[in-house]
Amino acid sequence: MKIEEYLGTEKIFFASSGSMVIFSVLYPFREKILGIPDQGCFGGIMKIADVLNMKYRFIETDDGIIIPENIKNVDIFFFSSFSGYLVENNVEDICTHCKKNGILSMEDISSGFSYPEFGKGDIIVCSTGTPKILECGWGGFVAYRNIERSGIFDFMRMPEGYMEKLENEVKNSRFKLQRILKYSRILKDFDYDVLFRDHNGVSVFVKTEYAKKILKILNREIKPDTGKSLFTRCPRYDRVLEKGFVIETIKIWKRKEDEIIDIGRKIEKEIKCLNI
């Protein structure tokens, strides 16, 4: 299945990175006011707005979960389908609210491509870097719904082999995402304090006052399949503004289920030891 078929759009446009996609999309709107969540969103969005000299304001969330009624006094609203990779947003309600109030919705689906409830925004952007659901190591794309696209994309050229790689990633995306969601649910089912325990997410946030000490131990014992660490220490704007750490499930999605359970047990053990 093609990306256009997943998203229900006519055409997509490519750029060298997800950041370049967002920059190119926002360029024609640079004199408008941009709304962004107060946490759980792509961290580079503020830098891009600053480069464009674009005014932006934060929209209050519930630990990253977007409350549609709070989206106001902006012209365009940028958000991630999975806030902080941790919890799914009600994308349908967000986009419906924006449309009713004359606000363009700009949805980042990098963390949740192929999730049935996502991809509803007026503008849909996606990174295909690493680690992502569509993991090409490079690039990104945008799809528009009844909106004139940015002319910047006319000058973009993708490297040889990218489209073939992307096509294969799209083909496998649903299986990959479902496995990540399953493994995240497994990692939530241990005796430690988890945020969003009953919600879908592609990462898991563990609340603790001892994140620095715990991660010093866990980083020695547990190695990811990609990157230097399986964990991200918080508070962080692009995850959640709480003390603790995130388990980046996407970095171990190729492993067997018993290995995931073993990782959960190790985390549980270290937290219990430090909380005594």
- Tell me what percent of the residues of the chain surpass a pLDDT of 90: 88
Q: Report the CATH architecture of 3-166.
A: 3-Layer(aba) Sandwich (3.40)
Strand order across the 56-59 sheet: 12-15, 140-144, 123-127, 104-108, 76-80, 34-37, 56-59
Name the band, by pLDDT with cuts 50, 70 and 90, for residue 40.
Answer: very high
The average pLDDT across 86-112 equals 98
Mean pLDDT across the chain: 95
- Coil, strand, or helix at residue 139? strand
Return the residue matching tokens 């490519």: 14
Closest CA to 235 of 205, 270, 197, 265: 205
Q: Is the CATH number 3.90.1150 carried by domain 173-275?
A: yes
The average pLDDT across 260-275 equals 92
pLDDT at 88 (0 to 100): 97
Each residue's pLDDT tens digit, 52-71:
999 999 999 999 999 999 99
pLDDT at 1 (0 to 100): 64
Each residue's pLDDT tens digit, 121-152:
999 999 999 999 999 999 999 999 988 777 77
Each residue's pLDDT tens digit, 159-191:
889 999 999 999 999 999 999 999 999 999 999
Instruction: Say whether pTM exceeds 0.85.
Output: yes
Name the band, by pLDDT with cuts 50, 70 and 90, for residue 95.
Answer: very high
Q: 66 and 79 in contact (C-beta within 8 Å)?
A: yes
- Sequence spans of domains, the chain: 3-166, 173-275
Name the band, by pLDDT with cuts 50, 70 and 90, for residue 78.
Answer: very high
Chain centroid, CA 135 distance in Å: 13
Name the band, by pLDDT with cuts 50, 70 and 90, for residue 255.
Answer: very high
Name the band, by pLDDT with cuts 50, 70 and 90, for residue 276.
Answer: very low
ω before 131 within 30° of 0 (cis)? yes
Sign of the C-alpha dihedral computed for residues 137, 204, 188 and 230 taken in this order: positive
Q: 32 and 52 in contact (C-beta within 8 Å)?
A: no
Distance CA 212, CA 59 (A): 29
Each residue's pLDDT tens digit, 178-229:
999 999 999 999 999 999 999 999 999 999 999 999 999 999 999 999 999 9
Q: Does 267 score more than 50 pLDDT?
A: yes
